[in-house]
Structure 1
Amino acid sequence: MKEQKNLSKGVSLIPFLVFILVYLGSGVYLQTKGVELAFYQFPAPVAAFIGIIFAFLLLKGSINEKFDTFINGCGNPNIITMCIIYLLAGAFATVSKVIGGVDSTVNLSLTYIHPNYIIAGLFLISSFISLATGTSVGSIVAVGPIAVGLAQRAGLSLPLTLASLLGGAMFGDNLSVISDTTIAATKTQGCEMKDKFRVNLIIALPAAIITLILLIIFGRPETIPNIQAYDFNFIKILPYLLVLILSLIGVNVFVVLTMGIFLSGLIGLYYGELTLLTLCQQIFEGFKGMTDIFILSMLTGGLAELTSKAGGIQFLMEKTQKLIRGRKSAQLGIAALVSLTDAAVANNTVAIIINGSIANELSRKYEIDPKRSASILDIFSCIVQGIIPYGAQMLILVSFSNGLVSPFDVIPLAWYIHLLAICAIISIFIPFSYRVNKENPINYNN
């Protein structure tokens, strides 16, 4: 299929629209049928595959030419790098959890939190767990039952308790160096994780501090519950600390995650939670847990290459640029695109992958620092993911209340998420560290 430079063809965007509509439509339909976690029942990779079929049917060129283009997209070095990181991150999270790392983290925190600051403490606990494990859902699942029990015993507002847990989970997910969203955002924008973390932290930290202050003021319990001394082992928390510290000082992410897996494995072997055989099995379980996002990343990489070759990215860029007047409006455009996509597909990682190439093109054209565009993608996808009532985080969160709390009770009290949106928008309109994004552009048009 010959490259069609400067040729805008809106029809080439139809395969991507089919992908989104199939994924969105299935979620809406299953939601009307009362299916639990409706937006997560139809596999995203299958929706992408349907979009790819439409691309082969609609776009010009021979089958062999289109297939070669598709394979080039799937095998893009940035896509493959992203996929390998997914596998290692999954293995680290699984092995660390199996040896009791998550439980020890929760119990250590609960043991030393003053009863007057339970809600604020839950925000900090969920923040750390999500930051360490790279998953907001995992943090909510780990802390949710404990949070509900403490809220009921202390006479706390259950919606506020759940909202604090949600905010902390999204804080960590947004910043974690092993989160799916961070991996996708940094690899599509061509920047280092530690650099994106620093830029992201400047925006997220003020929102987190203000939230913590509000929770300390308004989250005091009516009665003081007896906080028991929970069992924990500090050694089992060390792998999380190792990964966080090494990532932030700039050690290669492959080395970081491998060392994290190795340390967790040694601890598990020492305490008898693992044998060499079960350690290998748990590593593989971690790999398998990333199968969906691994396949989806490869398929969307191929679909993006087909769309780009046919002029789809050029078409979308031309339409988008009519609303863009400079660097600030370009950042707002990236934020709007990823937000709308996440609202449609209810998956922040998918939203970033879909919009990664467009954001990269916009950042290069308007000279936006790649770590800045990566932060915008991650932040706004997490903001929307945190407040949509049909997102996995919200649905799992309110399920712990046994029908006492609805998503619409939690959303207004999700102070961190609202403050993060305000801080992110303000950051677009104030002086920031900019660098021309032209040195190592992501090549989507090989």
Structure 2
Amino acid sequence: MKKPFVTKEQLEEIVKEYPTPFHLYDEKGIRENARKLRQAFSWNKGFKEYFAIKATPNPFILQILKEEGCGADCSSMTELMLSEALGFKENEIMFSSNTTPPEEFVKAKELNSIINLDDFTHIDILKELTGIPKTICCRYNPGGVFTISNGIMDNPGDAKYGFTKEQVIEGYKKLKDLGAEEFGLHSFLASNTVSNEYYPVLAKILFELAVELKEKTGVKIKFINLSGGVGIPYRPEQEPNDILAIGEGVRKAFEEVMIPAGMEDVAIYTELGRFMLAPYGHLVAAAIHEKHIYKEYIGLDACAVDLMRPAMYGAYHHITVAGKENEPCDHMYDITGSLCENNDKFAIDRMLPKIEKGDFIVIHDTGAHGYAMGYNYNGKLKSAELLLREDGSVKLIRRKETPRDYFSTFDFCDVLKDMKY
């Protein structure tokens, strides 16, 4: 059973200053999870987590993770700028992009970040733009279909990312000739896996490739980046990943493949976003409308602007009616927002306690890819982000948008000059 990290009584106090809807993050949970990840990979001297900024691009959250020893995984100019502003330096930043604008390579090189090339043609592009750095990484795509025994399947062959195996081998030779001295290897084969097997299986694939690369190209492999893909149990019946067991599985693969090859000094990197943050964020909304037609609907003051995943993917997010955690779930509802789109639904045919107008609705697991995927369709404005501190206090870490924010890019428009907002 999923339980919120905040009580109805706490919410009643919070809304006195910050009206719903808002995203709320749990500092205590974030820090504990980061420490557990570090513990899981403590056997590897060079281990580092590079938090995927795209999941939760908030400077207060990033500062917490920085204090816990994490680096930053960036995929755009603004993410690089945010990392720079927060004091992430050089090898604390991993830049992984695709179809990359030239100015982003230039910025990444300016920051001396680790550049992770997504395509063979980027070698010449980077050479002409900035020159090849001493440390460089390449993203590997094995193609085909990736499966593991518990039914997880993804299709790297259809993914737009990465080098083929032949391109990686040729690319390392070329990069070495162009002056690169230390190399990383990166790959991402499946998303949101709820399995302790995924990382160990991926790790063994990359470890074996790293040994082959060393033998065929003579390059020095400095690190192997397992990227993301370790997921969370969105549904209450799912068993969560055991990060300690995952770390142990990677260790066994490392000892089986890397140590016999004399590569025991290779560092392990991760780029987790969802695993690091999703369970430690709630979207908190209020029930403001009920509708009785062919189905029973409860309308919230939040909508898909605040959480896009259910509308975009049909993704499941657990819902708790605050203060009614122990009441029977004997009412079936569609939980909706107010967008002029029928897919603006947080839940369909969901069994919940009886909901009355004014109830607080807590939508779970929104700490990653929640606020970050927001938008302004229908002229909707993004909600505030709040941090529940370890001492129980609440800090505003991003104010809610205003009409002035929405109209700000029309500053040149005379029609808007006298608008009252």
Q: What is the TM-score of this pair, normalised by structure 1?
A: 0.24
Please state which structure has a larger fraction of its residues in helix: 1
Please state which structure has a larger fraction of its residues in strand: 2
State the structure with bigger RCO (CA 8 A, min sep 6), 1 or 2. 1
Q: What is the TM-score of this pair, normalised by structure 2?
A: 0.25
Report the structure number with the largest CA radius of gyration.
Answer: 2
